[in-house]
Amino acid sequence: MQNTDKNKLKKVWDECLKILTDIIPKEEFAVWFSDITAVKYEDNFLYLEVPTSYYYEYIEAHYIDELGRTIRRVFGSSTQLRYMIRITDANLMTMNSVNHSVVENAPQQAPVILNNPDIKELPNPFIIPGIKPIKVESQLKENYTFENFIEGSCNKFARSAGYAVAQNPGKTAFNPLLIYSPVGLGKTHLVHAIGIEIKKLHPEKTVLYIGADQFIRQYVKSVQDNTTNDFLQFYQMMIDVLIIDDIQYLEKKQGTQDIFFQIFNWLHSLGKQLIITSDKAPADMVGFEERVLSRLKWGLNAELQIPDVQTRIDIIKKKIENDGNISMPDEVIEYLAYSVNTSIRELEGALVSVMAHATLSKQDITIDLAREIVDKFVKSNTREITIEYIQKMVCNYFNISMEQMLSRSRKGDIVTARHISMYLARKLTKSSLVAIGDKCGKKDHATVLHACKSVENSCQIDKNYRKNVEDIEKKIIN
């Protein structure tokens, strides 16, 4: 299909939409697909216009498989996708479908066995048949760069270790580099950033990113097809930097652990770099052979922690900056950063929802809108009220700064604010007196208890005071 005229293009695109309505839940379809227009079809590229880059990112992250399959089915199997993002009404920015544009490895001379004409089908999905020398797809996503990975005390150590590895892959003591954390805190992003940086600094190195689940599937298939030797050869001969994401999936998978062990030893002995992620530290991993665990502990293990509020704010700002097209009031940014404290993935989810709702309903982005969405749409509708958020709201109410609140000042308003935030922290969170004291300027638990009693007393004798406390509480829980 080349240069289809507008009407015909619309018809064909409508056909895609029809198929997509069957695969994608109705509400989601309405949010993400009803505002897309097919603009043109040229040189095998289908251009879709989307309202903001959030659409593009969201669609790429959540629906690319369904969308890609449908487009190839309707427009032809060689069709590729490009997005056009509306910057102003007259201005469009073009983006490639990231999931299909990879950071490319240079072609490699294939090992003899893989060049053997008796092998009809090349055994590994990363090898593009018919091309010799063979090219290994790195599977790296372009936008997961160091540049886009905000630094905070939660990730400083892991980030700088990763950065060091990228400068000198295989040549530092950080081999393997193992990064661990619960879900949604940036492991996948960080290991991509390392891979991308290596490709930038050492273009001759062949980098491969692979999810452990995919690695397992490949191995199982090679056993079924009797091609395990080729599988092993591929990893041992072709790869300079091997990134395996979510190694915990190998738990209790003896066969895959064995082959991983062999690949690991081989690559390590040749000074190739291994980068691995896991949802917990090796010491806490169960269902693994001891010899595998011991390998994982060889190099450096670095943890990613939940970012503090300032880092969360910086991450939101970076996202907005990358989007280039949206203005969001600081108080909304702060609200999101304070109230979504589970993981960065959830934080991004909340941000994307707020953007989408503002765009769809053509409303301004306000704190009320954000609140509504955080309550309704963020998975953690068990939204936890944090001590920091309480402090922030109390400070706003009394018009004082956080520094003043945490200082040793004995000024009337500041003392009152400090007492009320301790009282509300005790009432509205599950935190212990010790934890509250710690967050409220390193006070001991007796001081917190004293503050709570003093607020209760004041509420009983002073109507205005009680009203203030009730007002603040309402603002916090609403």
Q: Residue numbers of the site for ligand ADP (CB under 6 A)?
A: 148-150, 155, 181, 183-189, 315, 318, 344-345, 348
Give me the residues that bind Mg ion (CB under 5 A), please.
187-188
* Cα–Cα dist 187/182, whole Å: 9
| Shortest distance in whole angstroms from residue 348 CB to ligand ADP | 5
* Cα–Cα dist 141/211, whole Å: 13
In terms of CB distance, is 154 or 393 closer to ligand ADP?
A: 154
| Shortest distance in whole angstroms from residue 338 CB to Mg ion | 25
In terms of CB distance, is 173 or 183 closer to ligand ADP?
A: 183
| Shortest distance in whole angstroms from residue 100 CB to ligand ADP | 18
CB-based contact 57:352 (threshold 8 Å):
yes
| Shortest distance in whole angstroms from residue 376 CB to ligand ADP | 21
Q: Could you tell which of ligand ADP, Mg ion, none binds residue 315, using a CB distance below 5 to 8 A set by kind?
A: ligand ADP
Residues in CB range of 179: below 8 A, 6 or more apart: 158, 162, 187, 190, 191, 275, 276, 277, 278, 302, 303, 304
* Cα–Cα dist 48/13, whole Å: 10
| Shortest distance in whole angstroms from residue 187 CB to Mg ion | 5
In terms of CB distance, is 213 or 368 closer to ligand ADP?
A: 213
In terms of CB distance, is 328 or 417 closer to ligand ADP?
A: 328
| Shortest distance in whole angstroms from residue 208 CB to ligand ADP | 17
In terms of CB distance, is 68 or 211 closer to ligand ADP?
A: 211
Q: Which residue is nearest to Mg ion (CB)?
A: 188
Q: Could you tell which of Mg ion, ligand ADP, none binds residue 202, using a CB distance below 5 to 8 A set by kind?
A: none
Q: Could you tell which of ligand ADP, Mg ion, none binds residue 189, using a CB distance below 5 to 8 A set by kind?
A: ligand ADP
Q: Which residues, listed in sequence order, are joined to residue 82 by a DSSP beta bridge?
A: 47, 96
* Cα–Cα dist 393/385, whole Å: 11
In terms of CB distance, is 155 or 468 closer to ligand ADP?
A: 155
Q: Which residue is nearest to ligand ADP (CB)?
A: 186
